[in-house]
Amino acid sequence: MASRQRVGRRSALPAAGSGRRGRGNQKTPGGLLAGERGTWRKKWTDRLPVALIFPNTYAVAASNLGWQLVYDLLNEHPAVVAERFVLAAAGDRPLSLESGRPLTDFALVCYSLSFEGDSLALLELLAAGGLTLEAAARDDDHPLVIGGGVGVWLNPEPLAPATDLFILGEAEVALPPVLQFLVEQWPRLGRRLLPRLAAAFSACYVPGLYHPSYDEQGRLLAMTVEGDAPTRVVPALLREPEVAGYSRLLSPQAEFSDLFLVELGRGCSRACRFCAAGFIYRPPRLWSPAAIRAALAHCPPEIQRVGLLGMEMAAPETLAAISGLIAERGKSLSFSSLRADALTPALLELLAASRIKTAVLAPDGASQRLRRIINKGLSEEAVLRAGEELAAIGVTTLKLYCMLGLPGEEDGDLLELVGMIRRLKGRLLALGRSRGRLTEIQLSVSSFVPKPWTPFQYHPFAGVAELSRRLKLLQGELAGEANVRISAEAPDKAYFQAVVARGDRRLGLALIAMAAGEKRGNWRRQLSELGIDPAWYASRPRAEGEIFPWEIVDPGLTARFLAAEYKRALAGKSGQGCRVGACKACGVCDG
Ligand code: SF4
């Protein structure tokens, strides 16, 4: 039986600014906060206590700008105390990082889901924390469970049975008004508030007010809506920030431990057809130089490296200006991934000055034909030339990201990739010999997972057996190739993601049963014992006109546009990138 929690008493709000930020210390679960900068430590007295969960390791959570932002937005409210939870070691009771309190001490339990693959881990964390997982079985003695993050923005339905309220969209805009409402209601945070939230805030989705029905083939037929709740929920989007997004938490134990991240904008104008971020964050927005400068001002003096996010959209002159600013401050630059066809002489000079040793290029598709299908628009020659140019400025490790299982992929495409790697190796060898320093190629392979709100939302996942065969083929061809290393994500992991990505509430109930430990065996066996066929969710082709569970969200994209783009992809035709202010193609902009 899950334990229950009383949500506390209300009294006067505390004075503004009485919280304290500073460095973490060792007296926290597992010493995770040792050396952390940006920790909030607030007294609990008379404050609304909020648990903020990221269902992954601390290293991943602490590197996530969205989660960091929500942590700040919550704690900046004087009447709120927010403490964080990340995945605990197996068998351990989850405790808050800041004060070691259990989940049941909090009146609100908020989670941020970035990756659909973390959904089961989230439910397991809630169960280990003593929460009743099914929202319909919780009463007002339980905390309200609130979901957000790009994972639920794409498709909230698999977590709908466990969630009282979703807040969809970008937190800067979506969260503060809802938080203020909840603070004013506290401690009477009953479920009676949910219909009011749904009616009053356009980014609020209360799944309990929506009732799906299905046809005889199991496809969604309709969603019946109760009361004044909207028929579809529009995620909130940030238009023009005063300060661009930046690393608000810095920790030696984070994935990017010595890196200060700054956002140049959100979204991407390139329209790669596989990339959910390129569609859900539309229209693409580039932040003003003033907002970027304001974000850079937060970089602590002792952090030497600055990472820029959203570089794909920035014009070379903007990039040069920002880079100059970073250099003036005595810092060096770091890049997550570089556009192989956008390496200007100025950018190369900057990379050389930053003494970059590892660089990442993402061809994504194995062949030029596949890169046209996914709308990557990258020629082999561009990849080869970029590799040479990077090696010439001192890069010693060149990483290439590629996906297997893309629409239209054949063995010939994989052989073309092998050929490209050999040709790249040949050019790097010639260069390395002349300079006395070789550059290693690391090929990183993942399995393609079709995502909601992309043109490939209609496409079947390739399947574990087929992906494993293609991976073996690639590994066999490159085996023994000196100076080339290949690493791959297990296709079974991608299969689980593919099931959840386009899942619905029936799948969500099965995930709840799995998290509650009702079944044994691997995830596929557990799902099938619960009456769920994973292949129906992952590998079934979907027809144009089918109603999808994720269409309860309305990001402005039209189904007609996505279906047309899918057809163009299958016909091997490339698509167009965003031209904000000059196009109405996908339905998001007014033109
Ligand atoms: S309407 Fe055009 S510019 Fe606007 S988001 Fe869609 S494709 Fe991009």
Side-chain half-sphere of 245: how many Cα atoms within 13 Å?
26
> Atom 1, ligand 1: which residue's CA is nearest?
584
Residues 184 and 277 placed together within one structural domain of the fold:
no
Residue 475 within any structural domain of the chain: yes
Residues 213 and 292 placed together within one structural domain of the fold:
no
Distance 285 CA to ligand 1 centre (A): 11
Q: What is the mean pLDDT of each run of 10 residues along the chain (591 residues)?
A: 31 36 45 88 96 95 95 98 91 91 97 96 96 96 96 97 98 97 94 96 97 97 95 95 94 86 90 94 92 92 88 73 81 77 79 84 95 94 94 92 97 97 93 82 97 98 98 95 93 97 98 90 93 97 96 97 97 90 90 54
For 100, phi then psi, to 5°, come to 70, 25
Residues 221 and 317 placed together within one structural domain of the fold:
no
Distance 499 CA to ligand 1 centre (A): 29
Domain's final residue, options 210, 225, 240: 225
DSSP per residue, 230-287:
-SSBPPB-----SS--B---B-TTSTTTTEEEEESEES-SS--TT-SHHHHTPSPEE-
Residue 588 within any structural domain of the chain: no
285, 558, 588: which to mutate for ligand 1, most atoms within 8 A of CB? 588
Residues 197 and 308 placed together within one structural domain of the fold:
no
272, 312, 454, 586: which to mutate for ligand 1, most atoms within 8 A of CB? 586
Residues 148 and 61 placed together within one structural domain of the fold:
yes
Residues 156 and 284 placed together within one structural domain of the fold:
no
Atom of ligand 1 nearest to the CA of 582: 3
Residue 172 within any structural domain of the chain: yes
Per the structure, the complete domain to which residue 440 belongs is given by 259-501+556-570
What is the total count of domains within the chain?
A: 2
* CA triple 398-399-404, angle to 5 deg: 145
Residue 239 within any structural domain of the chain: no
Q: First vs last Cα of the chain: how many Å apart? A: 55
- Token pair of 496 as six digits: 């689980």
Q: What's the pLDDT at 336?
A: 67
> Atom 8, ligand 1: which residue's CA is nearest?
578
Atom of ligand 1 nearest to the CA of 284: 5
Distance 254 CA to ligand 1 centre (A): 35
Give the CATH number of the domain where residue 286 resides.
3.80.30.20
Domain's final residue, options 199, 225, 251: 225
Residues 379 and 446 placed together within one structural domain of the fold:
yes
Q: Indicate whether residue 558 lines ligand 1 (CB < 6 A).
A: no
Residue 440 within any structural domain of the chain: yes
Residues 160 and 107 placed together within one structural domain of the fold:
yes
Q: What's the pLDDT at 17?
A: 35
Hey, is 586 helix, strand or coil? coil
Q: Please tell me whether the peptide bond between 316 and the residue prior to it is cis, using omega within 30 degrees of 0.
A: no
Residues 19 and 157 placed together within one structural domain of the fold:
yes
Distance 583 CA to ligand 1 centre (A): 6
Residues 220 and 364 placed together within one structural domain of the fold:
no
Q: Indicate whether residue 589 lines ligand 1 (CB < 6 A).
A: yes
Residue 575: name the closest of 413, 455, 453 by CA. 455
Residue 549 within any structural domain of the chain: no
Residues 216 and 355 placed together within one structural domain of the fold:
no
Q: Indicate whether residue 278 lines ligand 1 (CB < 6 A).
A: no
Distance 453 CA to ligand 1 centre (A): 14
Residues 67 and 159 placed together within one structural domain of the fold:
yes
> Atom 6, ligand 1: which residue's CA is nearest?
586
- Token pair of 148 as six digits: 């957000």
Q: Indicate whether residue 579 lines ligand 1 (CB < 6 A).
A: yes
Q: Indicate whether residue 584 lines ligand 1 (CB < 6 A).
A: yes
Q: What's the pLDDT at 591?
A: 54
Residue 402 within any structural domain of the chain: yes
Q: Indicate whether residue 556 lines ligand 1 (CB < 6 A).
A: no
Residue 232 within any structural domain of the chain: no
> Atom 7, ligand 1: which residue's CA is nearest?
578
Distance 579 CA to ligand 1 centre (A): 6
Atom of ligand 1 nearest to the CA of 583: 2
Q: What's the pLDDT at 62?
A: 92
